[in-house]
C-alpha cells in the first residue's frame, strides 16, 4: 500500500496543500485561520484526505511525511507580536542595534523618524569583560554584572535573553559563561548565544540575528507544539518537518531550538519547486498568493542567496534564499489616494473577511473582485465550486473605485487589474533588471492561485516570450516542500589570507564544522548514503569592506598548500561574476567558513510527475465566458477549457481561458499553450 507525502504552506489568505502518493498528485486549498493557523492546517489535511477518497485518520495513518512552510515567524516580526527580549552586550557597546550599519535610506525625508532598535535601551544591559580580535582575554568577565542583568530582566520582565559579546566568534568563553549563569539563575527563560547561532564577525548582523531568534522563542515553539499535537492526535505517526529560510527543511526540534530559521521559510520553497519542474538554466520564479507577490531568480541552475534580507527596519542577519515580496496579491485592496491616483495594496483583505466576492462581510475592492468583474474568474467554479463568488458584491466594491475615478465599473476593474500587474512587474525588475539581468533571457515559472490570469499580460510587458504555468501553480511553494532536501548549515569565523594561509587552523575549523553538520543529519534521521555536504567561504580583497561568498569543493581529507590557489581562483571568479572585475594578483582575505549539511533521500517519490493521457489529446471545453479585454476595451466571449487533468501534447491558442480547480489561465491573442506529461502548461508567443 503506497504512502502519502504531504506538504503544506500557510499563507496570509489560503493554506495550500500538495499531496503525492508516488503516482498521483493533488493540490487543495483551505482558508487560513489566523491567529490559530493550526486549524487551517488541519482543514487542508481534511480536504487532502477527501481528494484521495479517505477519512482523515486513515489518510494520516498512511502519511509518511508532512513538510510545513510557515509564515508564523515572519508575521510575528512584521506585526511586532514577538516576545520581549533582554540583550546582554559588552560594556561600552550598547548601541549596536541602534546604529545598525549606518544606512542612509531616504536621507532627505525630514518626516522619517530614526527607526527604533529591535531591543530598546531599557532592556539592554552591559557587562564588563573583554576578548580581543585574536581571542585573548583583555579583561575578565564581571560575573556580578551578569547576575545584575538577570535581576533587571526579571523586573522588566522579558520573555527571552539574547547574549552577544565582542569577538565571541573567536573565543566564546565569556559568552558561554554568561549563558551558564543566566540558566542557573533563571532556568525557564530561553537564552540565545550569538556565537552558536550566527558566528560571523559582522557585529550588527550577529546581534540582530541573536535578538530576533530570542524574540521568536515565545512564538514558534508554542505554535509548533500546538500543530504537532493536533496532527498526532488526529492519527499522524510519520515525520513532521518544517521549511527553513535556506530552502530546505529541518525537524521540529531543530526549528524550535533556532526559530529564526523559520522566518520567510515558505516562499523559499518556490524556487526549489521551479528547479524540479524545469530544466532551464536561468529562471525567474513568481508566486502570487492572496496577500503577497513573491519573486526569486535562479542562475545557471543555482539558487541565489542573500545576507541582505530585511525585516521591517532591520536585517534578518542570516543568509537566506533571495526571495523578495511586495503587497500585491489577490486580496490586495484597491484605493484612491488624496491626489486622485489609483493604488493597489499593500494592505490586504486577508482570509477574514477576504475579498467582497467571498461573501464574508468584506466591502473594500480587491484584485480578486476586479478579476471577477472582468469575467476572468468563473463565480460558480472558484476552488472547484467549493467557494462560490458573489458577483454583485464584487461589482459594488469595485464601483466605489469607479465613482472616485469617474469610470465605468468594468474600466475601473481593468485599472485595478493593470495596476496590480505593474506592481508585480516592478518586483520582477527589481530582482532582474536592477541586478544586471535581462528578464527577456530568462524562463518564467508562474506559481500562485491568482497569478495565471495576470501572467500573460505581465510577460508581454516584460518581453518574455516563454513561460510556464505548472499544474501545481496554486501550491507552488507547497510542492517545493515535496522535492526539497533536509538542510542545515554550520559556520565559523577564521581570518586568514592566501599569502599567509593558516592551513592547520582552517583544516581544524572545517573538520569541526563537518562533524557538527554530520550530527545535524544524524539527528534528522538521514541515513549515511543520503548525506551530502557543501562547502563555502566568505572572502574579500584586502582593504575591501564587504565579503562575498564562494563555493569550493575540498578533496577527500584535509586541504593542502596546493589547494590554496584554487580557493583564490574561486573567489576571483565569483568577484568577477558579481562585480565584473577581478584582481588575480590581489591578496584575498578569508573571513568565514561554512559547511552545509544536505539530506537528499527525503524527497517524495515521483513528486515532479503527474500521470497524464497519451500525447496528442485535447482539453475538454467548458463553454464560453465574457471577458473584458484591455486591448479592445470591451467584453468578448472567449472559449473556456478544463485544465484539471490535461492530456500530454494538448495545444490551446489564445485568446482563451483554461480553468482548473485552483487557478485560471488567461491566454492573450498570439499566445499558445502546450501541455507536457507532468500536467504543466508551457506558453509561448507562437514561434517554433
Q: For 281-343, give the secondary structure using H, E and C.
A: CCEEEEEECCCCEEEEEEECCEECEECCCEECCEECCCCEECEEEECCCCCEEEEECCCCCEE
The grid coordinates listed for 624 are 464560453
What confidence tens digit (pLDDT) does each residue in 409-443 have? 999 999 999 999 999 999 898 888 887 788 888 89
Same domain as 89, residue 204: yes
Q: Longest Cα pair distance anywhere in the chain, in angstroms?
A: 80
Given strand 85-90, what is the order of strands in its sheet? 124-127, 85-90, 160-164, 191-193
∠ CA 109-111-116 to the nearest 5 degrees?
100
Same domain as 598, residue 511: yes
Residue 166 lies inside a defined structural domain of this protein:
yes
What confidence tens digit (pLDDT) does each residue in 377-394 have? 999 988 888 889 999 999
Same domain as 93, residue 213: yes
Residue 262 phi, psi dihedral angles, 5° rounding: -85, -10
The Cα-based distances of 211 to 74, 201, 317 in angstroms read 14, 16, 10
User: Bridge-partner residues for 191, per DSSP?
Assistant: 161
**149/328: higher pLDDT:** 149
The CATH number of whichever domain residue 522 belongs to comes to 3.30.1490
pLDDT of residue 185: 97
- DSSP H or E run through 457: helix 452-462
Same domain as 418, residue 494: no
Residue 572 lies inside a defined structural domain of this protein:
yes
**Structure confidence at residue 106 as a pLDDT band (50, 70, 90):** low
Residue 624 lies inside a defined structural domain of this protein:
no
Residue 366 lies inside a defined structural domain of this protein:
yes
pLDDT of residue 266: 82
Residue 512 lies inside a defined structural domain of this protein:
yes
**Structure confidence at residue 610 as a pLDDT band (50, 70, 90):** very low
Q: Cα–Cα distance between 315 and 260 in angstroms, integer?
A: 12
Q: Which residue has the cell 525557564?
A: 188
Does the pLDDT value for residue 70 go beyond 70? yes
CA 137: distance to chain centroid? 41
Q: Cα–Cα distance between 448 and 27 in angstroms, integer?
A: 12
What confidence tens digit (pLDDT) does each residue in 268-299 have? 999 999 999 999 999 999 998 887 888 999 98
pLDDT of residue 618: 85
Same domain as 175, residue 90: yes
What confidence tens digit (pLDDT) does each residue in 115-131 have? 899 999 999 999 999 99
Residue at a domain's end among 570, 602, 634: 602
Same domain as 211, residue 127: yes
Q: Please give the span between the terminal C-alpha atoms of the chain, in angstroms, as a whole number.
A: 44
DSSP designation for 369: H
What confidence tens digit (pLDDT) does each residue in 132-150 have? 999 999 999 999 999 999 9
Does the pLDDT value for residue 608 go beyond 50? no
Angle, in degrees to the nearest 10, between helices 269-277 and 476-483:
70
Q: Is the dihedral of CA 479, 485, 490, 491 positive or negative?
A: negative
**114/203: higher pLDDT:** 203
For the residues 201-207, what does the mean pLDDT come to?
94
How many CB atoms are closer than 10 A to CB 324? 18
Same domain as 406, residue 490: no
- DSSP H or E run through 403: helix 391-405
What confidence tens digit (pLDDT) does each residue in 537-594 have? 999 999 998 899 999 988 767 899 999 999 999 999 999 988 889 999 999 999 999 9
**Structure confidence at residue 105 as a pLDDT band (50, 70, 90):** low
Residue at a domain's end among 389, 422, 455: 422
The grid coordinates listed for 510 are 572545517
Does the pLDDT value for residue 6 go beyond 70? yes
For the residues 635-652, what does the mean pLDDT come to?
91
Closest CA to 589 of 554, 559, 547, 550: 547
For the purposes of burial, counting CB atoms within 10 Å of the CB of 285, is it exposed (0-12), middle (13-18) or buried (19 or more)?
buried
**Structure confidence at residue 688 as a pLDDT band (50, 70, 90):** very low
Size of the chain in residues: 688
pLDDT of residue 346: 84
Residue 341 lies inside a defined structural domain of this protein:
yes
Q: Does 35 sit behind a cis peptide bond, omega within 30 degrees of 0 on the bond before it?
A: yes
Percent of the chain with pLDDT over 70: 96
Average pLDDT along the chain: 90
Q: Cα–Cα distance between 409 and 396 in angstroms, integer?
A: 9
For the residues 371-381, what does the mean pLDDT come to?
94
**246/185: higher pLDDT:** 185
pLDDT of residue 441: 87
Q: Which residue has the cell 485552483?
A: 662
Q: Cα–Cα distance between 198 and 446 in angstroms, integer?
A: 34
Same domain as 199, residue 104: yes
Give whichever of 73-87, 152-166, 467-481, 654-668 has the largest mean pLDDT.
152-166
For the residues 626-633, what does the mean pLDDT come to?
89
What confidence tens digit (pLDDT) does each residue in 478-522 have? 999 999 989 889 999 999 999 999 999 999 999 999 999 999 999
Same domain as 490, residue 393: no
pLDDT of residue 612: 44
DSSP designation for 450: T
pLDDT of residue 262: 92
Torsion of Cα atoms, 314 then 318 then 324 then 326, to 10°:
-30
Q: Cα–Cα distance between 158 and 214 in angstroms, integer?
A: 10
pLDDT of residue 8: 94
Same domain as 116, residue 209: yes
For the residues 177-189, what does the mean pLDDT come to?
97
In sequence order, what E strands does 132-194 have?
137-139, 160-164, 191-193
Same domain as 509, residue 408: no
Closest CA to 424 of 459, 475, 465, 474: 459
Same domain as 203, residue 127: yes
Structural domain including 347 reads: 332-422
How many CB atoms are closer than 10 A to CB 658? 28
Closest CA to 656 of 645, 668, 647, 643: 668
Residue 60 lies inside a defined structural domain of this protein:
no
Residue 562 lies inside a defined structural domain of this protein:
yes
pLDDT of residue 611: 45
Contact by Cβ (8 Å): 98, 515:
no
Task: Give the count of domains, the chain.
Answer: 3
Residue at a domain's end among 580, 602, 624: 602
pLDDT of residue 2: 66
Amino acid at each position: 500500500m503506497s504512502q502519502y507525502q504531504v506538504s503544506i504552506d500557510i499563507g496570509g489568505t489560503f493554506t495550500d496543500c500538495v499531496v503525492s502518493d508516488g503516482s498521483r498528485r493533488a493540490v487543495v486549498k483551505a482558508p487560513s485561520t489566523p491567529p490559530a493557523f493550526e486549524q487551517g492546517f488541519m482543514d487542508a489535511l481534511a480536504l487532502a484526505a477527501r481528494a484521495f477518497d479517505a477519512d482523515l485518520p486513515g489518510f494520516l495513518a498512511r502519511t509518511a511525511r508532512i513538510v510545513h512552510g510557515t509564515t508564523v515567524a515572519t508575521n510575528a516580526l512584521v506585526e511586532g507580536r514577538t516576545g520581549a527580549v533582554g540583550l546582554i552586550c559588552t560594556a561600552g557597546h550598547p548601541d549596536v542595534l541602534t546604529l545598525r550599519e549606518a544606512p542612509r535610506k531616504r536621507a532627505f525625508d525630514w518626516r522619517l523618524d530614526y527607526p527604533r532598535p529591535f531591543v530598546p535601551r531599557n532592556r539592554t544591559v552591559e557587562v564588563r569583560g573583554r576578548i580581543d580580535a585574536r581571542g585573548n582575554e583583555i579583561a575578565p568577565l564581571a560575573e556580578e554584572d551578569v547576575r545584575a542583568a538577570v535581576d533587571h530582566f526579571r523586573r522588566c520582565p522579558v520573555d527571552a535573553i539574547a547574549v552577544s559579546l565582542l569577538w565571541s566568534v573567536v573565543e566564546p568563553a565569556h559568552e558561554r559563561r554568561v549563558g551558564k549563569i543566566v540558566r542557573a539563575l533563571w532556568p525557564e527563560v530561553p537564552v540565545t548565544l550569538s556565537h552558536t547561532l550566527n558566528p560571523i564577525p559582522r557585529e550588527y548582523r550577529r546581534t540582530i540575528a541573536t535578538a530576533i531568534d530570542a524574540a521568536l522563542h515565545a512564538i514558534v515553539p508554542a505554535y509548533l507544539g500546538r500543530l504537532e499535537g493536533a496532527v498526532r492526535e488526529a492519527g499522524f505517526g510519520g515525520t513532521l518537518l518544517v521549511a527553513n529560510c535556506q530552502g530546505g527543511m529541518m525537524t521540529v526540534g531543530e526549528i524550535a531550538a533556532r526559530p529564526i530559521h523559520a522566518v520567510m521559510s515558505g516562499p523559499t520553497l518556490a524556487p526549489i519547486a521551479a528547479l524540479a519542474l524545469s530544466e532551464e538554466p536561468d529562471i525567474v520564479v513568481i508566486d502570487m498568493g492572496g496577500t503577497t507577490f513573491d519573486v526569486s531568480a535562479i542562475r545557471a541552475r543555482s539558487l541565489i542567496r542573500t545576507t541582505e534580507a530585511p525585516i521591517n527596519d532591520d536585517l534578518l542577519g542570516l543568509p537566506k534564499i533571495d526571495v523578495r515580496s511586495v503587497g500585491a496579491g489577490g486580496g490586495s485592496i484597491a484605493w484612491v489616494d488624496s491626489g486622485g491616483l489609483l493604488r493597489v495594496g499593500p494592505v490586504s483583505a486577508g482570509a477574514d473577511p477576504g475579498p467582497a466576492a467571498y461573501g464574508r462581510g468584506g466591502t473594500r475592492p480587491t484584485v480578486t473582485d476586479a478579476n471577477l468583474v472582468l469575467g476572468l474568474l468563473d463565480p460558480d467554479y472558484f476552488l472547484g465550486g467549493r467557494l462560490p463568488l458573489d458577483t454583485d458584491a464584487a461589482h459594488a466594491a469595485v464601483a466605489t473605485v469607479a465613482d472616485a475615478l469617474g469610470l465605468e465599473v468594468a474600466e475601473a476593474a481593468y485599472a485595478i487589474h493593470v495596476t496590480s500587474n505593474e506592481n508585480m512587474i516592478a518586483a520582477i525588475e527589481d530582482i532582474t533588471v536592477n541586478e544586471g539581468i535581462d528578464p527577456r533571457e530568462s524562463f518564467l515559472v508562474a506559481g500562485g492561485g491568482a497569478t495565471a490570469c495576470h501572467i500573460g499580460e505581465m510577460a508581454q510587458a516584460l518581453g518574455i516570450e516563454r513561460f510556464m504555468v505548472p499544474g501545481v501553480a496554486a501550491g507552488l511553494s507547497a510542492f517545493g516542500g515535496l522535492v526539497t532536501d533536509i538542510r542545515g548549515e554550520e559556520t565559523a569565523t577564521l581570518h586568514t589570507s592566501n599569502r599567509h594561509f593558516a592551513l592547520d587552523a582552517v583544516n581544524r575549523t572545517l573538520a569541526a564544522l563537518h562533524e557538527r553538520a554530520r550530527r545535524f543529519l544524524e539527528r534528522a534521521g538521514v541515513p549515511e548514503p543520503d548525506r551530502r555536504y557543501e562547502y563555502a567561504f566568505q572572502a574579500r580583497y584586502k582593504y575591501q569592506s564587504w565579503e562575498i561568498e564562494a563555493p569550493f569543493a575540498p578533496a577527500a581529507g584535509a586541504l593542502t598548500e596546493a589547494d590554496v590557489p584554487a580557493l583564490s581562483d574561486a573567489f576571483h571568479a565569483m568577484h568577477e561574476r558579481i562585480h565584473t572585475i577581478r584582481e588575480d594578483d590581489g591578496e584575498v582575505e578569508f573571513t568565514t567558513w561554512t559547511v552545509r549539511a544536505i539530506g537528499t533521500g527525503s524527497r517524495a517519490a515521483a513528486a515532479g510527475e503527474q500521470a497524464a493521457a497519451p500525447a496528442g489529446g485535447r482539453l475538454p471545453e467548458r463553454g464560453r465566458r465574457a471577458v473584458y479585454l484591455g486591448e479592445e476595451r470591451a467584453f468578448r466571449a472567449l472559449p473556456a477549457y478544463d485544465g484539471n487533468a490535461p492530456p500530454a501534447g494538448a495545444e490551446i491558442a489564445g485568446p482563451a481561458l483554461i480553468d482548473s480547480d485552483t487557478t485560471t489561465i488567461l491566454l492573450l491573442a498570439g499566445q499558445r499553450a502546450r501541455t507536457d506529461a507532468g500536467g504543466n502548461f508551457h506558453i509561448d508567443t507562437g514561434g517554433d
